[in-house]
């Protein structure tokens, strides 16, 4: 599980960026499962988001973030492992990642090296 102290070091912008990435992986197979929704809201809680930020997350759960909002080159180098860990947790919540989720993860791993 992603460590709370790592999450606490994220700026507001990076917290929202992390959630956009996580949610984009929930949408990778075009179906957001109840387990994925629960994971996102546990992460929202752990990140201590403000109400307006949590509202934004709720909107992303209805409609996925646009591709330009999840550009891997925008992930700060010092947070890349944290983002990868959170994404891996997301795609694992249902027990078996979809082929689309696995392919998206491989691409993210390559782009963040």
Domain count for the chain = 1
3-state secondary structure of 71: coil
pTM for this prediction: 0.90
How far apart (Å, rounded) are the C-alpha atoms in residues 40 and 19? 7
What CATH number is given to the structural domain containing 95? 1.10.3680
Length in residues, the chain: 113
DSSP secondary structure letter of residue 77: G
Q: Is the pLDDT of residue 2 over 70?
A: no
Domain of 55 in residue numbering reads as 4-111
- pLDDT tens track for 52-83: 999 999 998 999 889 999 999 999 999 999 99
How far apart (Å, rounded) are the C-alpha atoms in residues 86 and 22? 7
């Amino acid at each position: 599980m992603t460590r709370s102290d790592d999450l606490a070091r994220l700026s507001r912008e990076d917290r929202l960026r992390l959630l956009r990435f996580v949610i984009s992986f929930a949408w990778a197979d075009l179906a957001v499962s109840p387990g994925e929704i629960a994971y996102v809201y546990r992460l929202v809680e752990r990140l201590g988001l403000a109400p307006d930020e949590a509202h934004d997350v709720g909107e992303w759960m209805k409609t996925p973030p646009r591709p330009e909002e999840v550009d891997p080159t925008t992930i700060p180098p010092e947070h890349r492992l944290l983002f990868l860990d959170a994404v891996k947790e997301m795609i694992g919540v249902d027990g078996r990642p979809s082929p689309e989720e696995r392919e998206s993860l491989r691409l993210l791993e390559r782009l963040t090296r």
